[in-house]
Every structure is written in structure tokens, then in C-alpha cells.
Amino acid sequence: MERMQQVVGRARAAFNSGRCRSLEFRMQQLKALERMVQEKEEEILAAIKADLHKSEPNAYSHELLCVMQDLIMAIDKLPAWAAPRPVKRNLLTMRDEVYIFPEPLGVVLIIGAWNYPFLLVMQPLIGAIAAGNAVVMKPSEISENTARVVADLLPQYLDRELYPVVTGGVPETTELLKQRFDHILYTGNSTVGKIVMAAAAKHLTPVTLELGGKSPCYIDKDCDLAVACRRITWGKYMNCGQTCIAPDYILCDPSIQSKVVENIKATLQELYGEHVKNSPDYERIINKHHFKRILGLLEGQKIAHGGEADEASCFIAPTILTDVSPASKVMEEEIFGPVLPILPVKSVDEAIEFINSREKPLALYVFSNNKKLIKRVISETSSGGVSANDVIMHFFLSALPFGGVGNSGMGAYHGKHSFETFSHHRACLIKDLKMEIINKLRYPPGSQKKVDWSKFFLLKLFNKGQIRLVILALLGIVAAVVMKVVYY
């Protein structure tokens, strides 16, 4: 516990020194982080491969590419993001300087996940640095190779006091959560999410929780099944199904279930070849615990394809289950593996009802040629995000916030949204000491005449644009004269 107090204490002292508040310093740190990714690319990719059996092209496109995109955006846009944001004024504040000022929260904690071990620490880190915070990072101990690389590399490039990395398992995380932070961002499951939130509540610390869940995928009969199944197959089986927004299960009409299976099988052949186990593009389950957990979900199920497994290498083949019951074990928890259940539904109404009967997912997918049907599914359901006629792609667009709702999490980040998450939006109003006569309206004693004048000045609606400003200016002059006559 003493070690955690020291780490957080040093970070807070460094933050209080004020050195991370200047835009120049933030930019310097972001550029150093960019340089780290470029110069240490091989080490990072090797660590990810050691943890997840991920090829270099996949590791770069799934993780490093997203990190570089966010870094380039933050470096380019930071001056605009951090600038004061003027807001509209009313008559009584027409002469004042009124704006929102994004300021750093303080010392924040980022707890990463093992499935994308580099990306899920670095992306929020970029936003936290850009916003001017000190950041304590806790990479997942399950992806131990990437955690070690992050802990080794970051101190070589970033300010060691402001951006420390804490490694270790549950005991270290538990002690870390006892410390006071100004914000906590956690990526993982809902069980641990509740623990994080309970620990944060003791210090009234706000949290961003990225928790996942069972993301449904509805396939309409009016759909190009070959294209739909290719996109679903890519998103489901990338990273061996260990993606928080992977399609967790398919809902479709019984009449197209067999066609869906055949199209997915054909796509698997196209993407991974005849022998999936030998494909450099197919990853492995992170460890034996999760390997056994996933195999347990197959018990009693009708396997239409796949099911092969090798415990020694934590290999589970891409698997499709058909005619799955909503009450089955595989439908009770997020699968987080290469198993795709198909549940028959007779209509979009039944699909919507089924989705709404369960916890709100992190993502929702719908495939159809009917735009009205797509819009209906979106309007009548709730999820962290939606992609129509594709899967996962909303994650890669930094202009969109990434986050959950309900049981799938709270808060969001990515791109500018990361900066917003790690900033306090401070309301600022600066007056001068002139025109005191206007303030008579708000000073005692109260009267109906004051109320009437206040209603006139504050509740009247004017057209937007320059005309409104001119009218307000004229009214301000009139108001000053009227007040002088009335009160003096």
C-alpha cells in the first residue's frame, strides 16, 4: 500500500507543480509518445504476438494504427480543443466575457484490458495527456508481455513522475483503487467494473467504464447474405473472438439460417484457408482459464461448424452454433471467444423484443437493404453504438464517441471525446465594475416591477444572428436609461 501511495503522491505533486498544464508541455509529451510507437514498433508488436499469437500486420492494424491516428489528431487539434469556448449571452451579460474553459481534472487512473493490451492503455492515455492530467497506468497482468513492454518503454519517453506505470495483479490493483484519483477509466467486465465504481465512490471520483456485453446482430431476409456474412465473419473471429464489440450472436429468420451458416463457412475458408490452425491471421485464446470457459459454453449445443480445440496451444476453431435456445448457457454471458450462436426469430419485431429483454449491449448490428427497417431497429433499441450493414467499424472513427450504456458501461472516449472525458468544463464569466445600474434588477428589495422588467429582458425571443445582437445592444442602452429613471 505504501508503494501505491508513493506512486500516486509523486504524480499528484508533479501535477500540482503545474508543468503539465501548458500546451507546449502536453504537445511535447504527445510527440514523445508518437516517437516511442515509431521507434519501438518491433518490440511492441513482438509483445502482442507473444500474448495473443497475433501476426505483425494484424497487431499493427488492430492496435498501433489506431494509436497513431489518435496521436496525429491530438497533436493537430490540441490548440483548438484546449481553447476557451465562447457561449451565447443574454441581455444582462451582454458586456461580459463568458466562456467554457477545459481544464485538467488532476491525477487520473487508466486500467487497461488484455484483449487489445497496447491500444486500450494508449488510447485513453493520449486523451488524458492532451487534457493536461497526470496519469497512472495499470496494464492488464494477463497480457504480461505487453504489460512489461509498456512499463519498460514509457519511462524512456514520457515524464516519469507524471505518467507512472504500475504492474502486477489483483493485489496491486486493489491497493491502487484505495488511492484518491480525479477520474478512473476502466476497460473490462461488469463484475470488476462494479468493484472499480464502488472504490471510486469512496472518494467521489467519476468513472468511465467500458464493459462489453452480448452484442446482437440481426440479419434481415432482404439482405445480400454473402456480403453480410463476410463482414460478420471478419468482425466475429478477428482476435479469436476476443473483442468487446464483436457480434456475440445472430438473430435471423429460420428460413435463412442454413444460408447464413454456409456463407460464414465459405468466408472462413476465404479468410483463413483450409487449415485455420495454420493461418498466421488466426489468433489464440489468451490463457487456459478462458480456453476452458469457452469450451464449457459448447456443452449441449448443436455445432454446425468448428468445435475443434487444442488446449496446449489454446486453439479453438471458429465455431457456429444453430437453433440456440435463449435460455442456454452460451446466452447467459458474453462469449469473448470464437463461438457464434444463431437464434431463430420470425420477424424484426421479435428481434427487437428479444434485444430489449436483455441488458443493453456495447454494440448492436443490423443488416438489411431496407433503410426504414434499420432506422426502426436503431430507434426502438438501445446500445453503446450501432453499425448497420457492417460490424465494429464505428470503433475506428474517432469522430464518434466509443462507450457503453447501462450494463455495458458509462462514459465514452476516442479522439476529441477522450479530451472531453479527461477535462473539467469550467464555466467562466468575467464582468467589469461598471454599469452597476443594470444590477438593480437583482438586488433587494424585490418588486413586481423588477420581475416584469426581468421577464421582458430575459424571456423575449429574438431572431438569431447579427440582428439579435444589435437589438440586444439597443435594449441594453434603453435598460440603463430606464433603470436610472426608475431607481434614481
Which among 428, 424, 426, 425 has a CA at the least distance from the CA of 105? 424
Q: Classify 306 in phi/psi space as left (phi over 0), alpha (psi -120 to 50) or beta.
A: left
SS3 (DSSP) at 251: strand
Q: What is the dihedral of CA 12, 18, 24, 27, to 10 degrees?
A: 10
Residue 421 contacts residue 408 (beta carbons within 8 Å): no
Q: Which of 63, 210, 283, 334 is catalytic?
A: 210
Q: Which residues of 104-126 are buried (b: 16+ CB within 10 A; e: fewer)?
A: bbbbbbbbbbbbbbbbbbbbbbb
Asked about 244 being catalytic, the answer comes back as: yes
Convert 158-176 into a string of H (helix), E (strand) and C (coil): CCCCCCCECCCCHHHHHHH
Question: What is the rounded CA–CA span in Å between residue 125 and residue 137?
Answer: 8
The residues pairing with 102 across neighbouring beta strands, listed in sequence order, are 425
Residue 207 contacts residue 197 (beta carbons within 8 Å): yes
Asked about 103 being catalytic, the answer comes back as: no
Looking at residue 269, the DSSP 8-state letter turns out to be H
Residue 108 contacts residue 182 (beta carbons within 8 Å): yes
Q: Which of 66, 229, 240, 244 is catalytic?
A: 244
Which among 312, 307, 308 has a CA at the least distance from the CA of 287? 312
List Cα–Cα distances, 389 to 12, 73, 252, 337, in angstroms: 46, 27, 14, 22
List Cα–Cα distances, 407 to 72, 200, 290, 339, 444, in angstroms: 32, 17, 22, 22, 50
Which among 102, 162, 174 has a CA at the least distance from the CA of 135? 162
Q: Which residues are catalytic?
A: 210, 244
